[in-house]
Structure 1
Amino acid sequence: MQIGVVFPQTEMGGDVGAVRAYGQRVEELGFRHLIAFDHVVGADPAVHKGWQGPYDVRSTFHEPMVLFGFLAAITSLELVTSIIILPQRQTALVAKQAAEIDLLTSGRFRFGVGLGWNAVEYEALGQDFGSRGRRVEEQVELLRRLWTEESITFEGRFDRVTGAGLAPLPVQRPIPLWFGGQSPRAYQRAGRLADGWFPQMGPGPELDEAKAMVEQAASEAGRDPSALGMEGRLGWTRDADELAATARRWEESGATHIAINTMNAGLRTPDDHLAALESAAETLGLSKR
């Protein structure tokens, strides 16, 4: 089971030196990959009365694809989006960006995608919120063709490409596509289309039920359920025994990857996040450089 970290988007701030130090130290501690998730704009609660979203206009987010271009130059970590909100982005452009990250990392890239929940963000990016589920399925087909064929012609409901292609193509052909989401429909979509998935719950009966839906959908689509990856998220705790026990439960549940999440743990600075990850690395027996 490969162990990585969740980049603490909302608690990192805009200090590029802190971003550099974080990425390099994560690698030194023995973690194998870094996850970042995506929000382009945040809603202003003063305008959107009764706003209930977990993030707003004051929540800081580094743009994952640009961030990964920077990190690819200073680390050899696998870089993972978990998730990019795919239907609010232009498909051909995001295909190009993903191909570039895959090249810059020499194939150490997983492209995690999902639908998102923020209609305000969809409006700002000029995309339709209501059709996002239908659009993402078409986008998956188009992305994989753009990543593997020199020239394509594609006529879909949402995208049209006529005799065009990316150059250079990525190292991985196609780039692994992983899905987020937390609903029966999301689990079925992951089983039918994805190379792996990101559960939004911890080990236990709820995970078992979700995993069964993913695997059933994979089987019904003629795919091998055992070939799908699964990445769990493990909230950091000062209790080393609890951290180790939860990691073991993820492994027993069939996780191929886990990521340590230090966000919302009361850590005030980037150095605090790194100190927490150092303790986690020791608990989990990672090999330091």
Structure 2
Amino acid sequence: MSRVPSLGAVLPQAEIRPSDPAAVLAFVREVERLGFDHLLAFEHVLGADSRARPDWDGYYDHTVPFLEPMALFAFLAQVPRLEFVTDILVAPQRQTALLAKQAATVDVLTGGRLRLGLGIGWNEVEYVGLGVPFRTRARRFEEQVPLLRRLLTEDGVDHAGEFDVIDRAGIRPLPARGVPLWIGCGDAPSALDRVGRLADGWIPHPNLGDGEKVEAGWRAVREAAERAGRDPDTLGLQGAVPYRHGAETVVDRLGRWIDLGATHVGLNTLEAGLAWPDAHLDVIRDVMATWQEALTPMAGRS
């Protein structure tokens, strides 16, 4: 029997203009009031200046605003119930120990409501600006994820790796239950294998959609988990539903993720021609009402 997934909403950061803190807080409070379970936030530290790069074809440039997610979630700790999810945070361009400290702090301040979605990123401009070699990011990430888990759960850590050295040191305060570490990626075999070996869940790249590609990827993740001696049923799957053509279409796409076995599904109202914040909230209200109507029979059978 299919289970009712945790429902989330993406904070439409690229359309928060101006970046009014009161409007951001009011938006997130309304998302929680409507019954959503988690809030997803994208991340970019630097945007390439497209004026100086006429051939730039990246997803974002220097004109698109992004609030730093760890600072954002600390600010939003006053919202009492929502789980906060980075979707995704580019881990290899950050210092591992500092990232662990930030994650521990946010998790403690929010009472254990952080889920850390991590990835290797695509934007070489950011890596250059942050002083990290772009070509080493996959190898660095392989070392980082297990080290982050240790730093977030162990009293003291002694680690000497290719990229990080922790010389008999630890973090205080530690999260009460660690922090779930999910990996976001496309369907490259090495990336899917990494999810199955190292992560608590998979956040598929939006370009994979919700059809055969993501189904095959999820199967590969589960097989990798089994090869690593892990129980694939303990892994989570984060679905993504972009808003494009009305609430009914969004319900159909929610159903596809449920059929895939998604444990979490997030609504994304970015790039739908909506004005911040009222038009986004109008759509989110409409979709949530439609989703609740569709999910009520399933919840009654659970």
In the superposition, the TM-score normalised over structure 2's length comes to 0.92
- Contact 1:102/1:172 (8 A) holds in 2: no
CA distance in 2, matches of 1:46, 1:248: 42
Assess if the C-alpha contact under 8 Å between 1:202 and 1:232 holds in 2.
no
Shift of 1:238: 4.5
After the TM superposition, list the runs of 4 or more consecutive aligned residues in structure 1 that deviate by more than 6 angstroms: none
State how 1:18-97 maps to structure 2 within 5 Å. Answer: 18-97=23-102
Residue 180 of structure 1 contacts residue 197 of structure 1 at CA under 8 Å; is this kept in 2? yes
**1:11 partnered with 2:18:** no
Match of 2:180 among 158, 164, 176: 176
Q: Deviation per CA, 1:97-117, whole angstroms, max 9, x where unpaired?
A: 000111111111110000000
| Structure-1 separation of matches of 2:157 and 2:246 | 53
The match for 2:269 among 235, 259, 262 is: 262
The correspondence for 1:214, drawn from 218, 221, 231, is: 221
SS at match of 1:51: coil
**Matching of residue 233 in structure 1 with residue 240 in structure 2:** yes
Instruction: Report the 3-state secondary structure (helix = DSSP H, G, I; strand = E; otherwise coil) of the residue aligned with 2:30.
Output: helix
Deviation at 1:141, TM superposition (A): 1.5
Cα displacement (A) at 1:65: 0.4
Could you say which residue in structure 1 is the equivalent of 2:158?
A: 153
CA distance in structure 1 between the aligned counterparts of 2:245 and 2:290, rounded to whole angstroms: 10
SS at match of 1:258: strand
The superposition leaves residues 12-52 of structure 1 with CA deviations (integer Å, 9 ceiling, x where unpaired) of 13111110111100001110100001100100012234111
SS at match of 1:25: helix
Point out where structure 1 has 5 or more consecutive residues left out of the alignment: none
Contact 1:7 1:35 in 2 (8 A): yes
> Residue 74 of structure 2 aligns to a residue in which SS?
helix
The answer on whether the counterparts of 1:23 and 1:75 sit within 8 Å (CA) in structure 2 is no
The superposition leaves residues 161-198 of structure 1 with CA deviations (integer Å, 9 ceiling, x where unpaired) of: 1111101101222x110001112221111011100011
Give per-residue Cα distances to partners, 1:118-150, cap 9 Å, x unaligned.
001001011110010000110112111111111
The alignment's TM-score, normalised by the length of structure 1, stands at: 0.96
Question: 2:114 matched to 1:114?
Answer: no
- Residue 286 of structure 2 corresponds to 279
Question: For 1:241 and 1:143, how far apart are their aligned partners in 2?
Answer: 41
d(CA) in 1 for partners of 2:102, 2:120: 18
Identity %: 48
Task: Give the letter for the 1:239 counterpart.
Answer: G
One-letter identity of the residue aligned with 1:99: A
Distance 2:53 2:126 in 1: 12
- Return the letter of the residue paired with 2:164: D
Report how many residues are paired.
286
Q: Distance in 1 between matches of 2:209 and 2:45?
A: 27
Q: Which amino acid aligns with 1:265?
A: A
Q: 1: CA distance between counterparts of 2:142 and 2:197?
A: 10
Which residue identity does 2:180 align to in structure 1? P
Q: Deviations over 1:175-223 (max 9, x none)?
A: 1100011122211110111000111223221112111111111111111
Q: Which of the residues 138, 146, 160 maps onto 1:141?
A: 146
Map Cα deviations across residues 85-107 of structure 1 (whole Å, 9 max, x no partner): 00000100000000011111111
Letter in 1 for 2:257: W
| Deviations 1:226-245 (CA, angstroms, capped at 9, x unpaired) | 11100110012452321111
